Amino acid sequence: MTDGLRHVTTTRYVMPLHSGGSVPGVFEADDLGTYVVKFTGSAQGRKALVAEVIVGELARALGLRFPELVLVHFDPAIADAEPHQEVRDLHASSAGVNLGMDHLPGARDLTPEAAETFTVDPLEAGRIVWLDALTANVDRTVHSSNLLLWPTLGVVPPRLWLIDHGAALVFHHRWDAGDPTKAYDFRHHALGRYGPDVRAADAELAPRVTEELLRSIVDEVPDAWLDGEPGFGSPEAVRAAYVDHLHARARASGAWLPLDFPTADQIAAENALRAARTQQGRPAWLKQVPDLHGRPAVEQDGTVHLR
């Protein structure tokens, strides 16, 4: 069972996060906490917030590290000094209850470069992969891990924290085509290089995804984010559909359990091949243009260039 999402009210606007497609913002709240707030008026829509709540709270219930979520009461007037019109428009369309995630100061992304030196226990990797497979999360790849290393300072080594599950639960975009046994291609999962022990994770976690647990989680989604869903007569009917699908999927894990992951050497070889193909396909004049994104240097005709 979950304890329920707390309600907070924004008190100060810190800054927008332009790195995210939904342009979330960092706010301080009346509980003295600082939160990354995702808005109901974003282009991704309210279903992204529904996915954030369901998958995030399920992750926490299964013992994975995920920052606390809160329901954020937001008055756009608090951010009226924001200079960008598109961000002001987003704020104006998001008055009311939005979703906040506890801000982890000093956290850094698990990038491919960081993954070279960071070690993940195979069982922990397996648990995360299992959760992503269960919830059809298509947005935790080697190039966009949506995993944070935190803390980066102090005596405690950095640990993995999960974030950003708005792209999960893809079945709720087409309820009539939702197949609980559908497999997903996780060969390029961000943690595939660590030899995820998905079988052990399945044995541990699948029995814990009960109807009771799922009901307690979907109950945390505000009615307003579920109201008006085509094909459903009420928010409660939508909640029941989430519970039924995820419970059936957990029971059918043998049909979708991801097991075949490339090794770190195979990933490196595939990336090198992709880079070589990209280089071969570029016109001669473009091959001489430095890549300002800082990729490794290569030698061409005796001259070193950035690739």
124 residue type, one letter: E
What is the share, in percent, of the chain residues with pLDDT greater than 70?
A: 87
What confidence category does residue 119 fall into, taking pLDDT thresholds of 50, 70 and 90? very high
Same domain, 220 and 119: yes
Residue 98's alpha-carbon distances to 27, 67, 298, in angstroms, are 12, 16, 48
C-alpha 259/C-alpha 121 separation (Å) is 16
Q: Which CA distances in Å does 174 have to 20, 47, 171, 231?
A: 25, 12, 5, 11
Sign (positive or negative) of CA dihedral 165, 168, 169, 170 = positive
CA distance 188 to 264: 11
Range of the domain at 292: 264-306
For 111, residues 6+ apart whose C-beta sits below 8 A from its C-beta are 145
- DSSP assignment, residue 26? E
Residues 12 and 83 in one domain: yes
Taking alpha carbons only, the member of 259, 129, 243, 260 closest to residue 180 is 243
Which carries the bigger pLDDT value, residue 116 or residue 35?
35
Report the alpha-carbon distance of residue 296 to residue 307 in Å, rounded: 6
Is 72 inside a domain boundary?
yes
Interhelix angle 211-218/235-251, rounded to 10 degrees, is 140
Question: Does some domain include residue 1?
Answer: no
- In whole angstroms, give the CA distance from residue 203 to residue 184: 19
Whether residues 36 and 126 share a domain: the answer is no
For the chain, the average pLDDT equals 88
Distance from C-alpha of 163 to C-alpha of 161, rounded to nearest angstrom: 7
The predicted pLDDT at position 1 comes to 59
pLDDT in tens, 232-263: 999 999 999 999 999 999 999 999 998 888 77
Residues 26, 150, single domain; the answer is no
Whether residue 275 sits in one domain with residue 150:
no
Q: How many domains does the chain have?
A: 3
Q: Is the pLDDT of residue 282 over 70?
A: no
Same domain, 57 and 117: no
| 58-to-49, 133, 247, 261 alpha-carbon distances in Å | 14, 13, 12, 24
Angle at 102 between CA 204 and CA 216, to 5 degrees: 45
Do 194 and 133 share a structural domain? yes
Which helix (H) or strand (E) covers residue 8, if one does?
strand 6-16
Query: Residue 99's pLDDT is what?
Result: 98
pLDDT tens-digit map of 181-222: 999 888 789 999 999 999 999 999 999 999 999 999 999 999
Residues 70 and 118 in one domain: no
